[in-house]
Amino acid sequence: MGVAPSKAPADLNAILGGVETDKKKHCEQTEEWLRMLIDTAEDYAIFAINSQGRIATWSRGAEKIFGYSAAEILQQEFAIIFTPEDRATGVPQKEIDHAQREGFCPDVRWHLRKDGRRIFVSGAVRPLRALKGAPHGFIKVAHDITEQRRIELQLKESQERLRLLIENVKDVALFTLDVSGNITHWNPGAQRLLGYSEEEIVGQSVDCLYSKEDRKAGTPARERDIALRDGVRVSETWFVRKDGTHLLVSEALRRMEDNQGSVRGFVKVAHDITERKKLEDDLRQARDHLETLVAERTTRLRETIGELEAFSYSVSHDLRAPLRTMQGFSEILKAEHGAKLGPQAIGLLDRIIEGAKRSDDLIRDVLTLSRVAREETELNSVDLAKVLHHVISGNPEFQPPSAEISIAPLHHVMGHAARLSQCFTNLLGNAVKFVAPGVRPQIKIWSESLDGHIRIWIEDNGIGIPKGQEERIFNLFQRLHREDAYHGTGVGLAIVRKAVERMNGKTGVQSEPGKGSRFWIELAAAHD
Ligand code: ADP
């Protein structure tokens, strides 16, 4: 080491060896106090370096910070506590030279502990001079600030990350306000959206971003009050750009607090939704326009349907009238002139009567189906027992001795009494019709409750339905049996299905050929 020449003092006493003898006692006492002071400062490494660059004293704090005991390190070169790279570039000597020259050398750098671990140290080196002249050595004080530095670095990094994040958010305006609403930070996104540069706007009241009306109504202050109270205030606001144009933003104003919970201001995040709003408005307009169009067309369609109905009624009426005439005249002919006509002519007349009747039935059923499909079906609570009683009492074929119908107590349903009456008439009609010759129809009716729905069962002892045909028979004009065996139009079950659909219900059938069928109707349960 090229430190100023002198003998190598072994300890502080030796370093201070030049002090006059008559003051020795006083010095001894001072030295004792100094030693105590040094040893008490356990968080500081305090040690002396002699003029040869060797460690001459070593405090308790130094032991703790650098890991060497005094016995281990005394007389060692003080460069031992420097990192290899600092040693390689002569940092220890430079430090001493600098202290010697300037009277002080700051030492803030990485050092090396005995266990090889690096510690970041903040300290300084000062020369030790007796009275005047070259120093006897140096004193170094160092404080381990590794943890503090780590926290500082982390903080710096996270601040940097935050800064980068804020700077890079180009589509979102992000700015902060102090408690009185003055802008304190302004990101490039805010500049891009609102036109003001950071220099222009920082320090100004946020009010300048609001419309005249909002300012007059006190909106900015009210928003801050709400954010103060609730922590955050989310809203859609019209902002005014620097150039005076308006933009609609969706914004959140959030209260900012420090570690102690004191409010430090607000952060505002806003993004432009003008375009989105415009699209929504366009969409709403398009939808409204569409709805108007649909309404207009529906009205026109209804009118057309009405006209068609009127037409079909008149056609059917006109059709039915000649059919009835044919039927009526044929019957008169048969009754009044039957004796004069031969059996062949009578047979032909019977076929005319039968044909006219079938055509009339068909027209009647199709008209019923179209009415069921079209007419308003308002749903009410319906007492099924009452409806059935009405249907049975109006049809002798459903009564003894023709048929036997037993009815268990029935639930009330949400339905339409007239439609249900139509359904029961058709289903019971089929139940008494589709029986084997000579068999007396026996029908059982009951209902069960399933998950808020009521299923009404109508079970007959008829001929049944072949497997796989259960669904088909609900379609229009689908008949499984020959006309000469069982009369019908093939419209009855289509009416039932349509009517039940209009009452928001379902229909179905279970059957075993030869043993009978079980038709069901499911409707919502009535609340009463
Ligand atoms: P229609 O009774 O006028 O023939 P539906 O639409 O009422 O017409 O019935 C369609 C077909 O379903 C019937 O032709 C018959 O083949 C079958 N069907 C309906 N109800 C029953 C029943 N209870 N038992 C057996 N077959 C039935």
Q: Report the pLDDT value the prediction gives residue 232, as an integer from 0 to 100.
A: 94
Name the residue with the closest Cα to ligand 1, atom 12.
Answer: 473
pLDDT tens for 260-285 read 889 989 999 998 998 888 999 999 99
Report in angstroms the alpha-carbon separations of 520 from 71, 418, 472, 506. Answer: 104, 18, 15, 8
Higher pLDDT, 387 or 313: 387
Listed range (294-298, 477-481, 522-526) with the worst mean pLDDT: 477-481
Measure the CA–CA gap between 21 and 417, rounded to whole angstroms.
130
Q: Best mutation site among 366, 430, 515 for ligand 1, i.e. most ligand atoms within 8 A of its Cβ? A: 430
Q: State the closest ligand 1 atom to the C-alpha of 460, by its place in the atom list counted from 1.
A: 23
* Residue with CA at minimum distance from ligand 1 atom 16: 480
Determine the average pLDDT of the residues in 450-471.
94
Ligand 1 midpoint to CA 362 (Å):
14
Per-residue confidence band for 132, with pLDDT thresholds at 50, 70 and 90: low
pLDDT digits (tens, 9 = 90+) for 317-376: 778 888 888 899 999 999 999 888 888 999 999 999 988 888 888 888 888 888 888 788
How far is the centre of ligand 1, averaged over its atoms, from the C-alpha of 430 (Å)?
6
Ligand 1 atom 19: residue of nearest CA: 430
Residue 493 near residue 509, CB atoms below 8 Å: no
Q: How far is the CA of 501 from the centre of ligand 1 (A)?
A: 19
Q: What confidence tens digit (pLDDT) does each residue in 137-168 have?
A: 999 999 999 999 998 898 888 888 877 877 77
Lowest-pLDDT range of 23-27, 122-126, 192-196, 218-222 = 23-27
* Nearest atom, ligand 1, residue 481 CA: 16
Closest atom of ligand 1 to 462 CA is 24
- Local confidence band at 1 (pLDDT 50, 70, 90 cut-offs): very low
Residue 25 has pLDDT above 90, yes or no: no
Please state the three-class secondary structure of 265-292 as a single string.
Answer: EEEEEEEECHHHHHHHHHHHHHHHHHHH
pLDDT at residue 8, rounded to an integer: 37
Q: Rounded distance, CA 130 to CA 20, Å?
A: 10
- Helices vs. strands in the chain: H and E counts, helices first: 16, 17
Query: Ligand 1 mean position to 369 CA, how many Å?
Result: 16
CA-nearest residue, atom 14 of ligand 1: 479
Res 23: pLDDT: 61
Cβ density class 461-476: b for 16+ within 10 Å, e for less: bbbbbeeeeeeebbee
Range name among 114-123, 198-207, 347-356, 441-450 with the lowest pLDDT average: 347-356
Task: Select from 116, 118, 120, 88 the least CA-distant residue to 107.
Answer: 120
The atom number, within ligand 1, closest to the CA of 495 reads 6
Residues in contact with 41: Cβ distance below 8 Å, sequence separation at least 6, in sequence order:
59, 61
Pocket perturbation via mutation, ligand 1, pick of 368, 463, 480 by most ligand atoms within 8 A of CB? 480
Q: Of the residues 459, 473, 483, which should be mutated to test ligand 1's pocket, given the most ligand atoms within 8 Å of the CB? A: 473
Q: What is the DSSP letter of 182?
A: B
Q: In the structure, which protein residues have their CB atom closer than 6 angstroms to any atom of ligand 1?
A: 426, 430-431, 434, 460, 462-465, 473, 478-481, 488-494, 517
Average confidence (pLDDT) over 180-206: 94
Whole-number mean pLDDT of the chain? 89
Q: Under DSSP, is residue 263 helix (H, G, I), strand (E, B) or coil?
A: strand
Do 174 and 189 touch, CB atoms closer than 8 A? yes
CA 219/CA 225 separation, integer angstroms: 10
**Cα-to-centroid distance, 393 and ligand 1 (Å):** 22
Give nearest CA residue, ligand 1 atom 3: 488
| pLDDT confidence tier of residue 10, bands split at 50, 70 and 90 | very low
3-state DSSP: the chain helix, strand, coil percent, rounded to 5? 50, 25, 25
Q: How far does the centroid of ligand 1 lie from the alpha carbon of residue 443, in Å?
A: 15
Residue nearest to atom 23 of ligand 1 (CA): 431
Give the atom of ligand 1 at the shortest distance from the alpha carbon of 519. 23
> Residues in the chain, how many?
528
pLDDT tops 60 at residue 15: no
**What is the residue with the minimal CA distance to atom 8 of ligand 1?**
490
The pTM of the full predicted model, rounded to 2 decimals, is 0.50
Residue located nearest, by CA, to atom 2 of ligand 1: 488
Q: Give 498 Cα–ligand 1 centroid separation in angstroms.
A: 15
| Ligand 1: centre distance to CA 190 (Å) | 76
